[in-house]
Amino acid sequence: MAEQNIPTVYNPGEVEDKWYRHWENNKYFAASVEKDKTPFCIIMPPPNVTGQLHMGHALDNTLQDILTRWRRMQGYNALWVPGTDHAGIATQAKVEEQLAKEGLSKYDLGREKFLERVWAWKEQYGNRITTQLRRLGASCDWDRERFTMDAGCSRAVLEVFVRLFEQGLIYRDYYITNWCPHCQTTISDIEVEHQDKPGQLYYIKYPAKDNPDEYIVIATTRPETMLGDVAVAVNPEDERYRHLVGKTLLLPIVGRELPVIADDYCDPAFGTGAVKMTPAHDPNDFEIGRRHGLPEVVVIDKYGKMNEQAGQYQGLDRWECRKQIVRDLEKMGYLVKTEDISHAVGHCYRCNTAIEPMLSKQWFVKMRPLAEPAIQAVKEGRITFIPERFTKIYLNWMENIRDWCISRQLWWGHRIPVYYCQDCGEITASLTPVNRCVKCGGQTEQDPDVLDTWFSSALWPFSTLGWPDKTPELEHFYPTSVLVTGRDIIFFWVARMIFSGLRFMDQEPFKEVFIHGLVLDSLGRKMSKSLGNGVDPLDVIESHGADSLRFMLITGNTPGNDLRFHFERLDGARNFANKLWNASRFVMMNLGDYDPAAQGEPYTLADRWILSRLQGAVSQVTDYLERYELGEAARVLYDFIWSEFCDWYIELAKPRLFGKTTPGDRITAQQVLVQVLRQTLELLHPFMPFITEEIWQKLPHRGETVMLAPWPTPDDRLHDETAEKEMAVLIEVITAIRRIRGEMNVPPGKKAESLLVAGDSYYRSILERNTAYIQGLANTQVQVLVALQQKPEQSAGAVTRGVEIFVPLKGLIDLEKELARINKELKSVQGELARVQGKLNNQGFLAKAPAEVIEKERAKEQELTMKVRALQDRLAMLS
């Protein structure tokens, strides 16, 4: 082959965009229905159209891309369907922010014009996240890209809603829900983030109506809600209050009469044992209130302000009302005491506003009939979670599931397809608009609310494949093969897809759920804007390349566990890419006369060893990928490429390439280098697609692209256990001699003598047959001995498997000078160790220092202790 013009330095910026355009333009990502092939399908968790690529996206999509590229190379009919979510709350908020800058609100435009603005925003900005995914290397079939509000997905949503409505599984009722005063909509329980906040517990007297001297003390964190109190509940077994059950208390300030009721919900050991009942503003009180037929008094409006039912406090913000009520209670003698506490407060996951539990009329899905088949599918093993521990989390949530509030008070989203007759009140759910009542012919009005965004994404595995039509894609690719997603949306999304798939497809939506953790910062904290600790993947791609980012996210990653982002690990991934590039460059620079058909000499021990190790790497990588241990697969490749191929085999092959042996030896070395490098690149391609394509294209190869090359399979004929055992002996010996030279400061240019003592004939034979390897790689003159009468003076030694090694140092180093140097270094290290141990023995330091600082000091202590021992060992050798 002609000699390649290969740049000395690998530049990701010059490579990545070029190859991605090539792949996409040539439709290498595209998948059509091929019934003679085994299907492999992944449906991308749709990122929000408002989104920008963050590290969670980068990890999630890297995992999916690795699996898709691997299966594609294995010959599967691999389809990765991309798409985006309309993100109801977030997208509407973006457009409302734009309008506010123009001095307008959505009400100024009206619903129709406002939605036109949102669609225009989506067209302008909605493809930002998919453009960024391309930079990461995502090999999706972009011709099949979907959007949760495109025509097909919208039709599926209407179909599902109407069917569930007709089956009696969707209903409308007054219920306590989570209300966000900022976003002006309900949100589901799992969209509420609970944050520990400092607060107060207020103890308030509720006097008896007939005897003002008798009272019950109530403890509450929200005194402003007492304006909506309608009863006081106690445990029927609580001796303190049993005589008051059925009697009447008076609500402080307001004067409303409150019955004392008995309910098992009340815990006598918690607080005062008595609970004020505010059914319109507390979910537990709501449930108790329904059991006892209590009235529901709403005192806080949808803006978080006190309404007309709050009397003299009307118009106050809920927090200001709290302060005023506490002042009034104290003035009137009802406030017993206040305690400072820390308690969990629910916040909106979108805007971080404190949630207000509020009574309102909403649409719900009955979950029990849908949850039961979804529970069985997992219990029977038709769907498996990886790692398995997430099965318990899923089942626990599903077995205790509450009905799902699906209505949202927004304009952007799938409008609820329900129509109300203005004359007779008939309610109709319909796939098409209903202008006239089907019962009386009167005018109708559509429900103003939209569906929860998760309602549409719950249908994603089959709506994206064409449902409700019976498409070839749906028949071929459903159920999908695996869902890859983060542990934080098992409830948001995974569970909903499972029960939706079972209900409407009579089949589970995927066979396996591969759960990954979160990407945290180096201190183990969640990345967030408020902490300012986020790392932009696009900045990393600019500085280090997409391959380095991908490889860093995969190495050390274990299923289900969180991953800490360290820039040092990112630098390590870039160094790995550079190592591969330099090794490949060396190989290609020595292929000017390469002839794959030429007859070379028989394989050497080094050839047989590297080819055997390659078969092991192929087996291990494939096995780890099958088990979703992607981090372990990456580790095997890293070790094989960096150490075995680059550090050992290439060095062992150099004398044969540089003409120090026969021409046949050069031919064989070239052929082995090409075979190993090419197959290694094919194994590495799913992990680092860009650099592998760039190098593979420059090597002798068959086919158009590495991404369509057949996935390597082990060749049993090349598995050579003997070669691996023999090379392991030689590698240990060479490493030991190199270590001695390094520790004893033997100048690199000086050739040392090495005495290798091997009493066992097996080990001695290996050494005698391969002295050239040892002499070349350890810069030493070797003597192989059966035994040694006396250790040479001034020598350093080591013991490896079956071999004792002695390196005489006389004439190589200045012994006195070296002893002085080691003693000086030992004294310095011992001093540093004493300083660290002093810190760790200081109770004041241990009490005040952050945990991560203490941990660093302990690690330093361990490192210094090992260094002291090593220096003492060197002194002992030289003495």
Q: Which residues are annotated as a binding site for ATP?
A: 529
CA 125 to CA 118: how far, in whole Å? 10
Cis peptide before 700 (omega within 30 of 0): no
Q: Characterise 794 by phi-psi region: left (phi > 0), alpha (psi -120 to 50), beta (else).
A: left
CA 692 to CA 714: how far, in whole Å? 20
Secondary structure of 140-199 in HEC code, one letter for each residue: CCHHHCEECCCHHHHHHHHHHHHHHHHCCCEEEEEEEEEEECCCCEEECHHHEEEEEEEE
Residues 78 and 31 sit within 8 Å (Cβ to Cβ): yes
CA 401 to CA 417: how far, in whole Å? 25
CA 670 to CA 673: how far, in whole Å? 5
For strand 418-421 and strand 427-429, is the pairing parallel, antiparallel, or unpaired? Answer: antiparallel
- How far, in whole angstroms, is CA 125 from its chain's centroid? 25
| SS3 (DSSP) at 728 | helix
Report helix angle 55-73 to 537-544, nearest 10: 60
Q: Which of 623, 403, 384 is nearest to 508 (CA)?
A: 384
Torsion of CA 604, 608, 610, 613, to 10 degrees: -160
- Burial bucket for residue 217 (CB in 10 Å: 0-12, 13-18, 19+): middle
CA 716 to CA 733: how far, in whole Å? 28
Q: Strand pairing partners for 436? A: 443
Binding residues: 529
CA 95 to CA 114: how far, in whole Å? 9
- How far, in whole angstroms, is CA 515 from its chain's centroid? 8
DSSP state of 355: P
C-beta neighbour count of 348 within 10 angstroms = 22
End-to-end CA distance of the chain: 57
DSSP state of 648: I
Specify the length of the chain in residues: 879
Residues 134 and 24 sit within 8 Å (Cβ to Cβ): yes
